[in-house]
Amino acid sequence: MFSFGSWLNITSTDRILALLLGCFVVFLAARIFLSRSYSDVASVPGPGGGHWLWGHEREIFLNPAGSKFSEWFEKYGHVVRYKGAMAHQDLLVVADPRFIHHMLTDNPYNYVKSPVFRPLVERLLGRGLIWAEHDEHRQQRKVLNPAFSPANVRGMAPELRARLESTLQENGGSITTNIMKWTAIATLDIIGRVGFNHDFKGGETQEAKDIQKAWTDQVNAGMETAAFYAQIFLRTFPFLLYIPVDAIQKQGDIKMVINRLAEMFLKRGADVEKGRNLLSLMVKANSQGDGKMSNKQMIDHITTFVVVGHETTAGSLNMTLLELARNRACQQKLRDEVLGLGREPTYEDLTNPDVLPYLDAVIKEGLRLHPPGAYMDRVAVKDDVVPLSTPITTPSGEVLHSLRIRAGQFIQIPNISINRVNSAWKDGQVFRPERWIEPGGLPLRSEMQGGWSNIMSFSEGPRLCIGYRLALLEYKCILAMLIRNFEFWDTGAEIETKFSATMQPRVVGKEAEGAQLPLKVTLVEN
């Protein structure tokens, strides 16, 4: 039995160790108590269990993009807790509209990108809009916003159409069966010309080939199981990002390729008096007002717009073509509408939903099911109380109308799953453009999100995609031209989608071949 006398007989070193151990136990107990006394996260329902080392995160990675989150939203509600890997705190995944609006619109700088995501973005794209936070993001957005105004996007429309027609001609009026290769070239060509007055010549220039190879290598590596383990280890041991391992360092290859181009663009200069391309507008905007950006910042923005401006549009377009190939009646209805216009669609035709309503509906449905950015993550900067659209009933029966969270809480926003929630969309996994036209086809206002067309495809709030107008114009222009000239047929291949920087389709059973989307393509019969 312990006595004060026995304590006196312990050596001073042992006493110190015992005191330190006691202090640690008290600290740990206090931390757990304080965490649970403020945070409601432990009471949020979720799948439970999980792998002892990988939690639920490996399960999420190994399944098709968004599928586990969709399953959990149906089963547990629109705020779900799941187990993190390698003893990471429990994570939240949310589809609740008020929760998301509170984070992204009302308090966008109190919920920042994770400390793992930002270094990866910096390595891939540089310190542009996607990387920036707080005042730096506000300033960058202020300078760049004018370049993406409706009037300026309209001014880019003729060049966009000319570039698309040229790309079709350079490909002999036909396109390859792996539709991904053609759309990637087409969108890169368009962003090159419309954005920076640069001709990638149908993907035949060396820099175009270098960009395509670097991006393909990047996304294919990101779909491998090893990428999951790398992500988890980087989150746990961030210093690993800087070790000279080839697989990690290759993440910067595409940035180096485009940085060289960007430097050339800036040295060549832009005709700021007459230019209507994105570079000219950026240079003009940067020369006016306060907060002028450095050449390095401009280069990072160019890199961001080249990568994001072609790959995200191509990704959603690819999957929309697959949906139309599988839904022949929808495809023919769209073709009849476009051909029935009796002329090439103008900018006004493409931006007025009353002129081509079914094209508008197909675009919205394609973006709903296949958003360019499938996932976002955020980390709470400080303790907060978050309002909820739908109360949470905890396992103990308590009803929560808001959720207390602590600083450091990791939160996932899976746009691909949010856009498909059945409680809002009824048949959320089904491609059905008519929902955007027919009365009562859309969710109730209280069930809708706050982004473009009340879906999360371009995010919402101050971080809503700055180039969404140009992306929509490009998307509609390409789809209208393709559907007027070609028919798309399903090959019967089983396609799964994986998330690797953006959404990537691949053929089940041919995973080793990387991202691909085989479609049969034939000319429309006159």
Binding residues: 465
Distances (CA, A) of 499 to 293, 318, 402, 415: 32, 14, 31, 12
Q: What share of the chain is helix, strand, coil (3-state, %, to 5)?
A: 55, 10, 30
Both tokens assigned to 214? 């670097």
Neighbours of 143 (CB within 10 A): 22
- DSSP secondary structure string, 85-99? STTPPPEEEE--HHH
How far is Cα 468 from Cα 309, in angstroms, rounded to an integer?
9
Listed in sequence order, the residues at least 6 apart from 485 whose beta carbon sits closer than 8 Å to its beta carbon are: 168, 173, 523, 524
Task: Tell me which H or E stretch contains 251.
Answer: none
Segment (H or E) for 15: helix 12-38
The helix/strand/coil state of 386 is strand
Tell me the C-alpha distance between 490 and 58, whole Å.
31
Instruction: Give the three-class secondary structure for 410.
Output: strand
Q: Which residues pair with 412 in a beta bridge?
A: 93, 377
Q: For residue 374, which phi and psi values (nearest 5 degrees)? A: -75, -30
Q: Which residues contact 438 (CB under 8 A, 6 or more apart)?
A: none
**Closest C-alpha among 40, 36, 32, 35 to residue 404:** 40
| C-alpha span between 221 and 42 (Å, rounded) | 35
373 close to 459: Cβ distance less than 8 angstroms: yes
Q: Taking the alpha carbons of 216, 219, 221, 223 in that order, is the dihedral positive or negative? A: negative
Q: Residue by residue, what is the 3-state secondary structure of 186-200?
A: HHHHHHHHHHHCCCC
- Show the CA angle centred on residue 194, arms to residues 189 and 199, nearest 5°: 45
**Cβ 21 vs Cβ 10: under 8 Å:** no
The backbone torsions φ and ψ at residue 379, rounded to the nearest 5 degrees and listed phi first, read: -125, 130
SS3 call for 234: helix
What number of H helices and E strands is found in the chain? 22, 11
Backbone φ, ψ for residue 456 (5° rounding): -100, 15
Question: Binding-site residues for heme, please?
Answer: 465
- What one-character-per-residue DSSP string does 22-52 give? HHHHHHHHHHHHHHHHH--GGGS------BT
